[in-house]
Chain A
Amino acid sequence: MKLIAATFAILLAAPAAWALEAPPGAMACSGCHATSASVDTPAPRLVGMKADDILAAMLAFRAGARPATVMDRIAKGFTESEAAAIAQWYATQPN
């Protein structure tokens, strides 16, 4: 519930076009999370994931509740609302 509320808060707080702009930090994730499906890497793709799932993962990494090699260190750099905006944006990228 909380996750959905956070996502909606972002959508409601901004005009429609805003939700589609890359929010701060979003474009840095693709240094590891390949946007193209043809790249051979163990890092999972974000494009194609649901916003709620991305946000839930980010919050779990941040809290240390989900094991990680590197995402725990990265997720701690983003507030919940920043992570929600990034998650929302990835969910709108065509797969």
Chain B
Amino acid sequence: MRITRRGLLASAAAGAATSIAAPALAQGAAGRVIVIGGGFGGAACARFLKALDPRLDVTLIEANPTFISCPFSNEVIVGLRELKEQEFGYDGLRKAGVKVAIQSATGVDAAARSVTLGDGTKLPYDRLVLSPGVDINWTGLPGYTQAAAERMPHAWKAGAQTLLLRRQLEAMHDGGTVVISAPANPFRCPPGPYERASLIAWYLKTKKPKSKLIVLDAKDAFSKQRLFQNAWKALYPDILEWVSLSSGGKVNAVEPDSLTLVTDFNRFKADVANVIPPQKAGEIAALAGVTDRSGWCPIDPVSFESKLQPGMHVIGDAAVMGAMPKSAFAANAQAKACADAVVRLLAGDKPIEPRLINTCYSIVQPDYGISVAGVYRPQKDLFVDIEGAGGVSPIEAPATTRAMEAQLAHGWYKTITSETFG
């Protein structure tokens, strides 16, 4: 039997399950699905599960009543935007019939198929979806502790950290040195450190032109590299310096008391230090037993089911997705395909092989946007690029194209947040 998908987008968009035509699921096939994590992956997955089959009992477990989004938080750091515009609540999900539990998930019992919440409640599930995002790997960079992050913010989870970095930049004297340290792969948002570097360079150029920005990198190559570097050469030649891995850019340790970053041959003393540290799947993934030794979650790319724990699916930043980057766009696309797979599995059907898309826009200065896109298909345990598709914005392009992409980036943000939170 087939599920009728007429009106799926409309019902997801309207947050009402009623416009969907009668689902043709076998009697009793509907079930209980728990989604852990109400970010770009989890919130979208919960909404689409309910839209695909209104009879499903869908519960979203999210630690915070308000989600603070990372995409465009780099604009908040340099004062182009306020943190308010990054905040989303869960009323759209509630309206769509999703039960929302504002609680931390503290454990998963695979044998009993239940999730334990911070208040001790145990919730049973037939299938579990985890989209917990990333956690900082606090043992990954010597000296970088939670206390150190109060002096050298990562701002890689949006919120207080974003505002802390903004205040530090605002307080810095003209002529100061900002240092960003960028981690080795894999990490959340591959172009993110370079968008941030661009925008901080723009801030310095316009507000504190005697200042410098040094990017210390644990890599020799990065996303949209030529586009970024061309833009830097044109826009910020005297301000921004990128130090690659092979030029000694890898930060081995930090000393928060003196705001010092230590590399193989050098010690960089910063006035403002933004340390983007190594990351791992959100802690609950390890507690649920879906992480491998890498700290990330291997999955089957057709069903998004964990390779390690049957009945549990992992999407978004936490999962190993191969060629797909850890982005909000990707998490949202995976969420919809995963919802489709879960509904089919609950109905005793087989999931269909998905095609996924990712596009990451980056803002290099106001009115200057660039993008990287990809189209993906499953191959073995990963997603691979569909050959001939995808790629980056043209290396040479008129200012009007860059301005259009900046506008499209903002449009994308409105679209994806509406799609995710209602």
List the interface of chain A (C-beta within 8 A of B).
Answer: 15, 17-18, 20-22, 24-25, 27-36, 38-43, 47, 69-70, 73-78, 82, 89, 92-94
Contacts of B404 in A (CB 8 A): 42, 69
Interface secondary structure of A, over-half rule:
loop
Closest 10 CB pairs of A and B: A77-B375, A41-B411, A77-B389, A25-B355, A28-B357, A76-B389, A27-B336, A24-B355, A35-B13, A35-B9
Cβ contacts A to B, 15 pairs, < 8 Å = A15-B2, A27-B333, A27-B336, A30-B415, A31-B416, A34-B415, A39-B414, A39-B418, A41-B408, A42-B404, A43-B411, A69-B371, A78-B389, A92-B6, A94-B6
Out of B12, B354, B371, name the residue touching A35 (CB < 8 Å): B12
The answer on a CB contact under 8 Å between A21 and B2 is: yes
B172 interface residue (CB < 8 Å to A): no
B67 contacts chain A at the CB level, 8 A cutoff: no
> Closest residue to B355 on the A side, CB-wise?
A25
Asked if A17 and B24 sit within 8 Å, CB to CB, the answer is yes
Minimum CB–CB distance from A24 to chain B (whole Å) comes to: 4
Q: How far is the CA of A4 from the CA of B418 in the complex (A)?
A: 33
Q: How many Å lie between the Cα of A73 and that of B371 in the bound state? A: 11
Chain A residues whose C-beta falls within 8 Å of the C-beta of B386 in the assembled complex: 76-77
Q: Decide yes or no: A43 and B6 within 8 Å by CB, A27-B336, A27-B337, A77-B390 being known contacts.
A: no
B→A interface (CB under 8 Å) = 2-10, 12-14, 19, 24, 48, 329, 332-333, 336-337, 340, 352-357, 359, 371, 373-376, 386, 388-391, 393, 401, 404-405, 407-408, 410-412, 414-416, 418-419
Beta-carbon contact of A31 and B411 below 8 Å: no
Cα–Cα distance between A20 and B48 once the two chains are bound (Å): 16
Q: In the complex, which residue of chain A has the Cβ closest to the Cβ of B21?
A: A20
In the complex, which residues of chain A have a beta carbon less than 8 angstroms from the beta carbon of B5? 20-22, 89
A83 to B156, CA, bound (A): 37
Number of residue pairs spanning A and B whose beta carbons lie under 8 angstroms apart: 142
Whether the pair A21, B3 counts as a contact (CB closer than 8 A) is: yes
Which chain B positions have C-beta within 8 A of A82? 355
State whether A94 touches B7 (Cβ < 8 A).
yes
Q: Please indicate which of the listed interface residues A27, A34, A41 has the most CB atoms of chain B within 10 Å of its own CB.
A: A27
Give the residues in chain B near A78, CB-CB below 8 Å. 355, 375, 389
Give Cα distance in the complex from A55 to B355, angstroms.
Answer: 17
* Contact assessment for B419 and A34 in the assembled complex, using a CB-CB cutoff below 8 Å: yes
Contact call A28/B415, Cβ cutoff below 8 A? no
The answer to whether residues A73 and B373 also contact, given A22-B8, A24-B355 and a CB cut-off of 8 A, is yes
Which of B2, B356, B357 has the most C-beta atoms of chain A within 10 angstroms of its own C-beta? B357
- Which A residue's beta carbon lies closest to that of B397? A69
Residues of A within 8 A of B336 (CB): 27-28
Q: Which residue of B lies closest to A47 (CB)?
A: B9
CA distance A69 to B375 in the complex (A): 16
Chain A positions within 8 Å of B414 at CB level? 34, 39-41
B-chain residues with CB within 8 Å of residue A17 when the two chains form the complex: 2, 4, 24
Complex Cα distance A57/B216, Å?
Answer: 43
Q: Are the C-beta atoms of A69 and B405 separated by less than 8 Å?
A: yes
Q: For the complex, what is the distance from the CA of A94 to the CA of B11, rounded to whole Å?
A: 9
Q: Bound state CA distance, A29 and B352, in angstroms? A: 17
Q: A17-B2, A20-B5, A35-B10 are in contact. List 15 more A-B contacts (CB 8 A).
A: A17-B4, A17-B24, A21-B5, A28-B356, A31-B412, A32-B411, A34-B419, A36-B13, A36-B14, A39-B418, A40-B414, A41-B411, A77-B386, A93-B7, A93-B8
